[in-house]
Every structure is written in structure tokens, then in C-alpha cells.
Amino acid sequence: MDEIKNVIELNNVTKDYGDFKLDKVSFYVPEGSVCGFIGQNGAGKTTTINLILDIIKRDGGDVRVFGQNVDQDSASLREDIGVVFDEMGFHEFMTGRDINIMMKNIYKNWDEATFFEYLKRFSLPSKKKCGDFSRGMRMKLQIAAALSHNAKLLVMDEPTSGLDPIVRNEMTDIFREFVLQEDHTILLSSHITSDLEKIADEVVFINGGRIVLSGNKDEILEKHGILRCKKEALSKISTSLVVGSEMSSFGCEVLVNDRHAAAKLYPDMVCESASLEQIMLYYVSADRR
């Protein structure tokens, strides 16, 4: 049987900015998966991505991409990585054609035909300056560039933030197409959990520079649940099950980390499945307390 390979592996990675610290971050992204990297703004998603891409220097720990330490030959590793950032990064005076000229002289595997096909598919004019593009068009341009050099790993930092639902949907379709090939992997950071719920296989949840939760998305959704009860009943619930709770005028909502156990222990209470967004919100508010 083939062993499952990890395309990205982070082991006790630290980065200290003084006012913010990425604290012993460890997680992995298996080959062929879509990994959703979630967390609120300022949680450390961008810093982690920058460390994976070796754009910034880490203070400690190991980062391995395609099984190789990023310190050793990160430049050649990046041939196989397509990158999409939250901001375009290309100069506003550049046109699609200019970007093609630049990229074909940077990436060994740059595929000009694929790039122009994507531009056509995304209805992006190749002669128009990208400074005149809308935010959605700019993101599409970045995705076109990221997908045109036969990358095996796509690393995206908030590519869907600030986009309307139609464009976001288009993008998730493209991501799905990309991972149809077995050896293609995506690490997608976002705080829009509904997008990730659609496409992610794995989820890594970061908060305050620490990994709170990581693993298979379905397993995480299957395990967690929202328990509805009266305020007086809250104290009866085992603290080992409770992640966080919210009071309302109608009663109390509790996020539990083992909903099947909770359903057995408290049959008189209603236990529903939780969404990624709810899980994120409860973990964040529990962390604040």
C-alpha cells in the first residue's frame, strides 16, 4: 500500500515579532488534499504561509515542503508551488502580456498557452493594465499565473476575501478542478469558513499564533456539536466536553468536542451538528476567556 505523503510539514515552528508570536506551530498537509487554514484576522495565517514559502525567516522549528527542508533549496522547491496572495502584488501598469513575459523568464515550466487560456476563461483582457481590474479580476489574474507553471502545490492566502459569492463560487470550482489530479494539493487560508466547508478535506485552525485544532474536516464536524439546554442545566455538563458556551434569552448553547458522547450523557438536551464557523467562534471566545 502506498504511504500517504505530506506535502507540507511544520514542526514546532516559532516566529517572534515581539507583539505577536507564532508559538510552536505544528501541522501537516497530506498530498492530494485541500487543507483549509482558518483563523480570525491576525491569528497568524499569513505569517505561517510566509514561513512555509521561506519569505520570512523563522526563529525555530522545521518546515518541510515536498519532504525537503525549506532552508536547503527553497528556491527550486518553489518551482512547484503556485502562490496566490490576498493582494495582487503585480504592478498596476502591467498587463496580462507583461506578466506572461516576466513569468516565462522566471518559471522553467511556465506554460504560455495555459496562461492565456485561463485569461480567456476568466474574461480577463490581456492588453488591459491590471491596475484597472476589479478585485475579483485581480484575484483571477493571480490564480491564472499560479496555475500556469504546472505547480503541484497551491498556497493561497485569503484569496476569496472581499469577493462576491459568485466569484467565490467560480474560484472554488477552479480549486476543485486543480485537485482532480492526484498529486495536486492546496493550502487555502481563509476566514470565510463557508468556502472551506465546500472544498476542504483537512482543516487547520489557528488562533493567537497557536494551532487550536487540526485534522480531517469531516471528522472535526462529526465530533463537534452544539448542545442546547437551559441555563440551569449548563453546570451539569462535564467540563471536559465543553469548548465554549453562549447564553441567550432562550437558554444556552454549548459547543461540545464529542457530540456523540454528549448525546448519550444528556439525552434530554438537543445536540445538533456544528458548522466550521461556529466551531471557530466558540474556540476563539473560549481562548479569550
Partner 1 sequence: MKGLILKDVMSLKHQLKIFVFVLFGVVVTSILFVLSARFGNLALAGREMLRTEQASDIDVKNLATVALVLFMLLPIATVGDVVNVFQADGKAGFYRIAGAFPLPVSKRLLARFLTIYALFGIGTLIDLVLALVLSSLTDLIRFRDFCGIILSAASVMSIYSALVIFFCILMGYGSQSYAQIFSLLSMGLALILCNLKYCGSLIKAITTDQSGSLDMTIFWRPLDFIKEKFWILVLIAVIVSIVSYVVSLKVALRKRGVI
Interface ranges with partner 1 (CB under 8 A): 50, 53-57, 74-79, 81, 83, 85, 87-94, 98, 101-108, 155
Compute the least distance from the CB of residue 55 to partner 1, in Å: 4
Cβ neighbours of residue 266 under 8 Å, at least 6 residues apart?
A: 227, 229, 233, 236, 237
Full 3-state SS string of 76-126: HHHHHEEEECCCCCCCCCCEHHHHHHHHHCCCCCCCHHHHHHHHHHCCCCC
Strand-pairing partners, residue 249, are none
Q: Please answer whether residues 17 and 1 qualify as being in contact, where contact means their C-beta atoms are separated by less than 8 angstroms.
A: no
Compute the least distance from the CB of residue 164 to partner 1, in Å: 23
Q: Which is nearer to partner 1, 158 or 253 (CB)?
A: 158
Measured distance CA(178)–CA(22) in Å, rounded: 30
Compute the least distance from the CB of residue 109 to partner 1, in Å: 10
Q: Which is nearer to partner 1, 106 or 270 (CB)?
A: 106
In total, the chain counts a number of residues equal to 289
Q: Which is nearer to partner 1, 75 or 166 (CB)?
A: 75
Q: Please answer whether residues 168 and 195 qualify as being in contact, where contact means their C-beta atoms are separated by less than 8 angstroms.
A: yes
Q: Which is nearer to partner 1, 58 or 259 (CB)?
A: 58
Compute the least distance from the CB of residue 123 to partner 1, in Å: 23
Strands 6-16 and 153-157: unpaired
Q: Which is nearer to partner 1, 4 or 106 (CB)?
A: 106
Compute the least distance from the CB of residue 171 to partner 1, in Å: 19
Q: Please answer whether residues 270 and 228 qualify as being in contact, where contact means their C-beta atoms are separated by less than 8 angstroms.
A: yes
